[in-house]
Amino acid sequence: MTLTEQKKRYFGTDGIRGRVGDGSITPEFVLKLGWAVGRVFAKEKHTKVLIGKDTRISGYMFESALQAGLSAAGADVYLLGPMPTPAIAYLTRTFHAQAGIVISASHNPYHDNGIKFFSGQGSKLSDDIEHEIEAMMDVPIETVESALLGKAHRVVDAAGRYIEFCKSTVSSKVNFSNLKIVVDCAHGATYHIAPEVFKELGAEVVVMGAEPDGLNINQNCGSTEPRLLQAAVLEQQADVGIALDGDGDRLIMVDHKGELVDGDELLFIIARAHQRAGTGKQAIVGTLMSNLGMEHALNKYDMQLHRANVGDRYVMETLKKTGGVVGGESSGHIICLDKTTTGDGIVAALQVLAEMQETDSKLHELRSVITKYPQRLINVRVNKMVDLKSSATVQEAVANIESRLGDEGRVLLRASGTEPVIRVMVEGRDATLTNQLASELASVIESVFKS
């Protein structure tokens, strides 16, 4: 069995994450993790590792633990302070560092935290490197001799560097002076960056969720809770609302009517902008959950949707396989590979705003090309983890529903990888029929796997 095929003990699809104080999310573990990472990357003198974090209170504790472990392994540490996840990917590249570390639990509440990593190229670590790190976790800590200990540096201009990068992802001719924008920073890592980016490009900016206290990250705000943003856009008579998550890699927008514009619609708008400018690829990458209406809209413009498994890692893998440059998830994780190496909420928002300016269109008009299909998702709890393909009864039920939907719908069954739950999703043009068919299929699965 190769390293890649081995099951990982600590790393999930996006680093290591959990509740602070439990399992791997403890100071002791993170200290050892920092040392293990240092040993894997400190192959030569003057190894650079960048550390950034979001605004949750436990970030201070884990930053210190990582710094101590990396220094003990002989790696120099560059501390960025509160910075969006995509900013750390960008700065890791521009500093020519060997690795970048993000202390964040993304859109989770403050009592969770996590550690995720970028390679020197600003991309997620390979499976082999993650296995190397996990193997090093079994080795007792040995501190290098004092003359070889890593040094720590505070990067005081990190925010300014990233602000300039974000602005560079749109044409210098673009000016947002005719736009009024409400920006919700989720009391997270973009609080001191996102408003400045849009202001410096000329927009009138109303700021929300930019007063982090260590405990309020993602609390009733941001991309997972956009209701207050919707109300603010209407109250302020703004042209658009922008909702980011706690670490700045997800984006949801609100049009001037206060209506949500999700990741599928944003992905379509950005893909269409590429095509209109003559720089786009026919291959666009979504996920198994991407709305069928978005796929049909892409097909209308001779663009093909490739569906990856849910998760930005799988979207990235499929982009590389297909040669595409634009991919994303319904949740708002949008990847623009012609601009950067990972999902970036600010960069994605800028591409949408630029398309609004270039076409002299409102966001509502750009998203109206898509007719989204109703989706019904039902979680069926079963007695144990199951193989869905093993049941002829379930497969017959799926085939029957697919035939009733025809070309105007689809069925998706997914067994959870972490709990005994089967996720049943039915999508169709008619909401009543979609709900009915989803309930029928859920009942079949329940009868088969709960008996």
Indicate the DSSP class of residue 145.
P
Tally of CB atoms within 10 A around 428:
25
Residues 426/437, Cβ–Cβ less than 8 Å: yes
Q: In what order do the strands lie in the sheet with 304-308?
A: 304-308, 283-287, 326-328, 334-336
Q: How far is CA 380 from CA 94, 385, 387, 413, 415, in A?
A: 47, 12, 14, 10, 9
Nearest 10 degrees: Cα torsion 21, 30, 97, 320: -60
Residues 133/33, Cβ–Cβ less than 8 Å: yes
Tally of CB atoms within 10 A around 3:
15
Indicate the DSSP class of residue 269.
H
Phi, psi of 69 (to 5 degrees): -65, -45
Helix or strand (DSSP H, E) at 69: helix 58-72
Phi, psi of 412 (to 5 degrees): -135, 125
Q: Which entry of 58, 106, 119, 330 is annotated as an active-site residue? A: 106
Counting beta carbons within 10 angstroms of the beta carbon of residue 96, is it exposed (0 to 12), middle (13 to 18) or buried (19 or more)? exposed
**Is 106 an active-site residue?**
yes
Q: Which of 304, 171, 188 is nearest to 247 (CA)?
A: 188
Q: Which of 355, 320, 349, 317 is nearest to 333 (CA)?
A: 349
Residues 408/428, Cβ–Cβ less than 8 Å: yes
Catalytic residues: 106
